[in-house]
Structure 1
Amino acid sequence: MNNIIWGFITILGFIVFIPVAQAENIDMISCGSGNINIIAAGEDLTIMAMEGKGINLDNYGNKTFDNMTYQYGALFKIDKGNWSGSMLMKYMDPSGDFLVVEIAQVGMVRDGKFIYGTGKWKGISGACKAVPNTQGKPISPGTNQGCFKITGTYELKK
């Protein structure tokens, strides 16, 4: 009977001390500039490809995403005024480690999920939502400049 009790206590001890990934919050602003390439433009339909670059400002005290630079490629459709599209974004931290986010956009809201990471971002998972924060007048034709507020959660494998 003592062996059973000690066995149970030992197993319970292992379970209690197994490290578990904990979700961390995201609250940042991403600002950047991009180029727009119109693929097709009609009265009710516009299809465009976009690519661009920018930088993040992290609103949390730990500044995890602060000064991360990013690059994206996107394909959008505006059908009778309704936006939809998809993007792939690479975020790189100051050490050179990077993560990739896959984004679906409906209207002006972007829903993203983390799909890949290197270095300290290896094994990243989680999701985020981005909404426009500001949009400037294009500095030159065929460009866009603006910022998005991004919130969500992420986890790193232990």
Structure 2
Amino acid sequence: MRTGSKTSVLALGLAACGAVLGQVNLPKEGNYDYTACWTGTSSEIAMAGGDTATSYEMVGTLVSNIPGGLGDRTTFRCVGMNTMIKGKAGGGNVCEGIDPDGDKRVNRFFIEPDGKVVREMLYGTGKYEGMMMTNSVAMIPPLKPAKPGTFQACNRQTGTYKLK
């Protein structure tokens, strides 16, 4: 995987972790602080001039840094595709998160022409229907792949949330 594609996968991956939240008996609003880690595989098409197209699938977990807090013990999966064409990043993914209660959140992430990652909530079930949140992400230093052809990463996310 080339550097541009790795950067895009990591950017979408860190955003994706904000898509999946969950906890039993969650207050209607509050602060959250959790660590998200994921692993995945990718496949790349290298084109003339250094352009690339990369598809990937990743799975991961969230662990709340606040005992019993938002996101604790949530699992997620994402599928996506990124491109680096003429020096411009593009692409996106869809992620589904499932909390311990079985409630789900599905979000779409995409890269704008300026490289900014944008999240759009597609739907939530149970307690996540109509949820709103703010989000701040701090990447944990890059991890060395555990196996050729895979990638691993973690981040810490903090912010506020409000349930419907």
The partner residue of 1:74 within 80, 84, 88 is: 80
Radius of gyration: which is bigger?
A: 1
Which is further off, 116-125 or 36-45?
36-45
Q: Choose which of 28, 33, 38 in structure 2 pairs with 1:32.
A: 38
1:65-123 Cα shifts (integer Å, max 9, x gaps): 01100100111123466644312111111121111122234688644243311122222
Task: Name the structure with the higher strand share.
Answer: 1
The alignment partner of 1:43 has SS state of helix
| Residue number in structure 2 paired with 1:125 | 132
Which among 105, 114, 123 is matched to residue 116 of structure 1? 123
Identity %: 29
Aligned AA for 2:135?
C
Change (3 A) 1:115 1:125: farther
User: How has the CA–CA distance of structure 1 residues 57 and 27 changed in structure 2, closer, same or farther, with 3 Å as cutoff?
Assistant: same
Deviations 1:128-154 (A, max 9, x none): 354532322222332111112333433
What TM-score do you get using the length of structure 1 for normalisation? 0.69
What is the aligned partner in structure 2 of residue 87 from structure 1? 93
Is contact 2:145-2:152 (8 Å) kept? yes
Say whether the 8 Å CA contact 2:77–2:96 is kept in structure 1.
yes
1:134 aligns with 2:133: no
The CA deviation at 1:46 is 1.1
Structure 1 unaligned residues grouped into runs of 5+: 1-21
Query: Does residue 147 of structure 1 match 2:147?
Result: no
**How many equivalent pairs are there?**
137
* Structure 2: runs of 5 or more not aligned: 1-27
- With the length of structure 2 as denominator, give the TM-score of the two structures: 0.67
Q: How far apart in 2 are the matches of 1:34 and 1:142?
A: 9
User: 1:112, 1:104 → 2: CA distance?
Assistant: 7
Greater relative contact order (CA < 8 Å, ≥ 6 in sequence): 2
